[in-house]
Structure 1
Amino acid sequence: MMIHAYLRASTAEQDASRAKEQLREFAQQYGHRIAGYYVENESGATLQRPELFRLLADSEPGDVLLVEQVDRLARLNEGDWAELRATLQAKGVLVVALDLPTSHQAMQQAKAGDDFTGRMLAAINTMLLDMLAAVARKDYEDRRRRQAQGIEKAKSAGAYKGRQVDTDLHRRIAQLLDDGKSVRGIADLLDCSTNTVQRVKRERTASV
């Protein structure tokens, strides 16, 4: 059993690796070490997450995908969550979240080789994952709705200016694009999201 830790934050301004030490301590508590950390700044509401799927590609049946909370793994709509869950099941990867105690038990039973108990816990764990994924999606939609309402209110009051562009970051991205650096390479170098790099790239292409 190998443990692969997945850490995600939604924006480049957030520290996606914040929970790294907490995940390491958890694995150590159960007598494991983490084989690799997969860190990215991407929305949990999309399946377009290169690091998540690189983790899955690196995983073998019986391995663990470790996250701080279920919402770090997914804030997906029902169809996308079903697709991701099917991928996890096809790979034979067990999702373990610090906020889901049944997943801790499932990991222990898998290690002990207790097939019947392990299968029962895995079934319970899958059900709870479905519930928490649904809660995470609702929280995402509620926050988006409140944000939209706040923007409309600010627009009505003439106070809305929109998100301010980090011009210095965009300038550095443009320079690295001119130097022939890859999107992923720039994102890693500047500690920003690939979405930000792609946006600058699109804007430069449109202006040519």
Structure 2
Amino acid sequence: MFIRAYLRASTVDQDANRARKALEDFVSSHGQQIAKSYIENESGASLQRPKLFELLDDAKPGDVLLVEQVDRLSRLTESDWQQLRATIKAKEVRVVALDLPTSHQFMQTTTAAADAFTSRMLAAINDMLLDMLAAVARKDYEDRRRRQSEGISKAKEKGAYKGRGIDKDKHSRIMALVGKGTGIRETARLLEVSTSTVLRAIEKAKANA
């Protein structure tokens, strides 16, 4: 069984490796080990996640895509989630999430023929719950964005909103690489930041030019 762990955090300031031990302990409890880990700092609300699609490109039929929670895999809109789900199904990859008990059956190496019906039923239930948790994750994302927007609006009304602080040192290192002709993705990889952070630095530099 080839288990590919996917660890994601929304920003470079968050630790995408935070869940590594929980995943390792879970896999060990099933007598398995993680074969390869894919780590990135990108929003779960975006399909622009190079490491996730690198995982799917590498995956072979029957491989396990392991995540701590379904929201690490998706905070996507319905259409984007269905697009990702179609890719996962086409690759015949089995999603296992620690917060989705029905998916834990995929950690078993063999299934007795007598349990074939039960296995199919559990797989169908698992697919339904996976879709449901993905929808819940998206709603949570939208609710947090709405509350954040409302908080910013109130702060602006009071004249107290200053916006997000800028890491000037990080931006200067980004622009130094970009100035040498380094591409956006390569800059992000070299500095271990998200591509969105690189784009924000470029936009900020243009605005100040």
TM over 0.5: yes
Aligned residues between the structures:
206
Give 1:7-18 correspondences, 5 Å limit: 7-18=7-18
Corresponding position: 1:133 with 2:131: no
Q: Identity, % of aligned pairs?
A: 64
Partners of 2:71 and 2:140 in 1: how far apart?
9
Corresponding position: 1:145 with 2:146: yes
Give 1:118-197 correspondences, 5 Å limit: 118-197=119-198
- Could you say what secondary structure the match of 1:196 adopts? helix
- Could you say what secondary structure the match of 1:13 adopts? coil
TM-score w.r.t. the length of structure 1 is 0.92
Contact 2:68 2:99 survives alignment (8 Å): yes
Per-residue deviation, 1:122:
1.5
Per-residue deviation, 1:100:
0.9
Give 1:31-42 correspondences, 5 Å limit: 31-42=31-42
> Which residue does the alignment assign to 1:72?
72
Partners of 2:156 and 2:206 in 1: how far apart?
31
User: Over residues 102-133 of structure 1, what are the superposed CA-to-partner deviations in whole Å (9 max), with x where a residue is unaligned?
Assistant: 1112332xx21344433222211110001101
- Could you say what secondary structure the match of 1:19 adopts? helix
> Which residue does the alignment assign to 1:57?
57
Contact 1:106 1:118 survives alignment (8 Å): no
Per-residue deviation, 1:203:
4.8
Partners of 1:3 and 1:106 in 2: how far apart?
11
> Which residue does the alignment assign to 1:198?
199
Partners of 2:185 and 2:39 in 1: how far apart?
12
Per-residue deviation, 1:178:
2.8
Partners of 1:146 and 1:82 in 2: how far apart?
27
CA RMSD of aligned residues (A): 1.8
Contact 2:16 2:40 survives alignment (8 Å): yes
Partners of 2:163 and 2:13 in 1: how far apart?
16
The range that moved more, 176-185 or 66-75, is: 176-185
> Which residue does the alignment assign to 2:88?
88
Please list every run of at least 4 consecutive aligned residues from structure 1 whose deviation after the TM superposition is greater than 4 angstroms.
Answer: 202-208
**Which one-letter code corresponds to 1:70 in the other structure?**
V
User: Over residues 34-89 of structure 1, what are the superposed CA-to-partner deviations in whole Å (9 max), with x where a residue is unaligned?
Assistant: 11111111111111111100000000111100000000000011111111111111
Q: Structure 2: 5+ residue runs without aligned partners? A: none
Per-residue deviation, 1:26:
1.3
User: Over residues 165-206 of structure 1, what are the superposed CA-to-partner deviations in whole Å (9 max), with x where a residue is unaligned?
Assistant: 111100011112234444334323333212111332455567
**Which one-letter code corresponds to 1:163 in the other structure?**
R
Contact 1:106 1:121 survives alignment (8 Å): no
Q: Structure 1: 5+ residue runs without aligned partners? A: none
**Which one-letter code corresponds to 1:128 in the other structure?**
L
Contact 2:7 2:72 survives alignment (8 Å): yes
TM-score w.r.t. the length of structure 2 is 0.91
**Which one-letter code corresponds to 1:52 in the other structure?**
L
- Could you say what secondary structure the match of 2:16 adopts? coil
The range that moved more, 22-31 or 125-134, is: 22-31
Contact 1:6 1:67 survives alignment (8 Å): yes
> Which residue does the alignment assign to 1:113?
111
